[in-house]
Amino acid sequence: MPTKSEPSVDAGGLRQTLQEAFDSGRTAEADWRRQQLKGLIRLVEENEKQLIDAMVADLGKPRFDAWLTDLLTTRDEARHALRHLDDWMRPRRHPVPVVTFPSTAWTETQPIGVTLIIAPWNYPVQLLLSPLVGALAAGCCALLKPSELAPATAAVVAELVPRYIDPEAVKVIEGGVDVTTALLEQQWDHILFTGSTRVGQVVMEAASRHLTPVTLELGGKSPTVVAADADLKVAAKRIAWAKYLNAGQTCIAPDYVLVERSVQDDFTDRLVDELTRLRDKAEPTSIVNANHVRRLEGLLDGHGGEELLPRKTDHASRTMAPVIVREPDPASPLMQEEIFGPLLPVLGVDSVDDAIAFVRARPRPLALYLFSSSSETERRVLDRTIAGSVCVNHLVYQVAAPSLPFGGVGPSGMGAYHGKAGFDAFSHTKSVMRRPTRGDVPFMYPPFPPVVQKVMRLLTRWPLR
């Protein structure tokens, strides 16, 4: 039996097996890429019940939510890549300056190599297999590391992947922190990690030892701004839904709301009504484990605000009813830490400009949401805030569009995937120039005669087309 200091996985052996598959050259072929993407689509479609059963066992997810947020999004991501693969792989011609004439130039993509994808527990299928779509489309080999906090889902994925996808080119490894640590000691050609900012720093530090490029999908506190001219009924309904989804355990969930004071009471009343309806009628999702329940309960202590909905936690099922906290202390842990649960602070601001200033004074978020009927307000918020993504008059849905890049900025992440952004993340774009050998005139080599210098200066005045 391995000791605590000895990982239960031969990380180097796995890495070498994948390298051999990559070195065979087959993964670079367009037909191989298409077959793997089709296999991934079949995996999701043919094993819907088994995958959903596993997510219910791990997280107590409502079955429809599991299908909508994990399976549908993964399938659509793979379908989008399959549809656009030929275009993404096509070489692109580039203009050349006069000084290089006669020449032609282009860029072409090639798979970056053997990659590592580390997924979290909150969307255990989507956040493992959607990044794999980009890797397969790019022609890469991949080692998938699902979260040990969703063990049933990890086991099902580990069983299914080799049945539908080239088992020598894509592998799944289960295990805990010791396994992840051993994997990070290896040299990969790219690492994509989804998780907390704290662990993202560990991943980036490990990758830096090998100068390995990383895509980090982290988190942070995603704000929602409600302007006075917003449709308050719709805003309250949509914010309540987004916070209730997966019990708030979503990296792009609304973390807090900034609402103009002139409509704060009206909006807050509507939000209380909507969350009360969800508390009473909608099927809840469990908090992932008892430690996270205790963490969330701790965030409710000492926040300095007013709780507008009563606390209600079932420790046996690890379910926690949503709680609205009005006007918490901005310095409290509730307003300093990513909540990742069904707690929603609501703060009043005098104007949208004050909301912008509040957001700008804090770390750049993974997502930002705005409710307003004014195109001018929309433009002002877009221009003056920096966030990984923005959704106007709704929440979360931007991640469901396969053609939109998904990624953070600053502490909320770096790099992006989904659609072509995922293909690009796992590809190297190679620049190529070709010049003929015929007509190799001597005056193009030093020493350059004065007349040649004069002609070159004249010709290079024209811009590239």
Claim to verify: residue 276 and residue 333 sit in the same structural domain = yes
Query: Looking at the predicted structure, is the pLDDT value of residue 448 above 50?
Result: yes
- Tell me what the mean pLDDT of segment 250-257 comes to: 98
Claim to verify: residue 264 and residue 159 sit in the same structural domain = no
Active site residues: 217, 251
Residue 450 included in any domain? no
Radius of gyration of the chain (CA): 26
Residue 435 included in any domain? no
Residue 127 included in any domain? yes
- Each residue's pLDDT tens digit, 143-164: 999 999 999 999 999 999 999 9
Which residue range forms the structural domain that includes residue 274?
A: 223-401
- Tell me what the mean pLDDT of segment 358-362 comes to: 98
Mean pLDDT across the chain, nearest whole number?
95
Q: Give the CATH number, domain containing residue 59.
A: 3.40.605.10
Of the pLDDT bands very low, low, confident and very high (cuts 50, 70, 90), residue 265 is very high
Claim to verify: residue 66 and residue 193 sit in the same structural domain = yes
What is the predicted pLDDT for the residue at 239? 98
Claim to verify: residue 123 and residue 268 sit in the same structural domain = no
The structure's pTM equals: 0.95
Comparing C-alpha atoms, which of 416, 389, 413, 365 is closest to residue 200? 413
Query: Looking at the predicted structure, is the pLDDT value of residue 5 above 70?
Result: no
**Burial 68-87, CB ≥16 within 10 A → b, else e:** ebbbebbbbbbbbbbebbee
What is the predicted pLDDT for the residue at 3? 44
- Each residue's pLDDT tens digit, 277-312: 999 999 999 999 999 999 999 999 989 999 999 999
Claim to verify: residue 235 and residue 168 sit in the same structural domain = no
Claim to verify: residue 168 and residue 293 sit in the same structural domain = no
SS (HEC) of the chain = CCCCCCCCCCHHHHHHHHHHHHHCCHHHCHHHHHHHHHHHHHHHHHCHHHHHHHHHHHHCCCHHHHHHHHHHHHHHHHHHHHHHHHHHHCCEEECCCHHHCCCEEEEEEEECCEEEEECCCCCCCHHHHHHHHHHHHHCCEEEEECCCCCHHHHHHHHHHHHHHCCCCCEEECCCCHHHHHHHHCCCCCEEEEECCHHHHHHHHHHHHCCCCCEEEECCCCCEEEECCCCCHHHHHHHHHHHHHHHHHCCCCCCCEEEEEHHHHHHHHHHHHHHHHHHHHHCCCCCCCCHHHHHHHHHHCCCCCCEECCCCCEECCCCEECCEEEECCCCCCHHHHCCCCCCEEEEEEECCHHHHHHHHHCCCCCCEEEEECCCHHHHHHHHHHCCCCEEEECCCCHHHHCCCCCECCCHHHEECCECHHHHHHHCEEEEEEEECCCCCCCHHHCCCCCHHHHHHHHHHCCCCCC
Of the pLDDT bands very low, low, confident and very high (cuts 50, 70, 90), residue 462 is confident
- Tell me what the mean pLDDT of segment 261-284 comes to: 97
- Each residue's pLDDT tens digit, 362-385: 999 999 999 999 999 999 999 999
Q: Give the CATH number, domain containing residue 363.
A: 3.40.309.10
Residue 406 included in any domain? no
Claim to verify: residue 17 and residue 59 sit in the same structural domain = yes
What is the predicted pLDDT for the residue at 229? 98
**Lowest-pLDDT range of 113-127, 210-224, 282-296, 438-452:** 438-452
- Each residue's pLDDT tens digit, 34-86: 999 999 999 999 999 999 999 999 999 999 999 999 999 999 999 999 999 99
Tokens found for residue 163: 């049945």
Residue 465 included in any domain? no
Residue 287 included in any domain? yes
Of the pLDDT bands very low, low, confident and very high (cuts 50, 70, 90), residue 7 is low
State how far the Cα of 450 lies from the Cα of 463, in Å rounded to an integer. 23
Kindly report the backbone phi and psi dihedral angles of residue 211, in degrees, each rounded to the nearest multiple of 5, phi listed first: 55, 40
Comparing C-alpha atoms, which of 169, 222, 237 is closest to residue 25? 169
- Tell me what the mean pLDDT of segment 200-212 comes to: 97
Claim to verify: residue 213 and residue 229 sit in the same structural domain = no
Query: Looking at the predicted structure, is the pLDDT value of residue 343 above 50?
Result: yes
What is the predicted pLDDT for the residue at 464? 65
Claim to verify: residue 61 and residue 187 sit in the same structural domain = yes
What is the predicted pLDDT for the residue at 101? 84
What is the predicted pLDDT for the residue at 367? 98
How many domains does one find in the chain?
2
Claim to verify: residue 74 and residue 199 sit in the same structural domain = yes
What is the predicted pLDDT for the residue at 6? 53
- Each residue's pLDDT tens digit, 95-138: 998 888 889 999 999 999 999 999 999 999 999 999 999 999 99
Residue 448 included in any domain? no
Query: Looking at the predicted structure, is the pLDDT value of residue 433 above 80?
Result: yes
Residue 458 included in any domain? no
Claim to verify: residue 285 and residue 241 sit in the same structural domain = yes
Claim to verify: residue 287 and residue 164 sit in the same structural domain = no
% of the chain residues with pLDDT over 90:
91
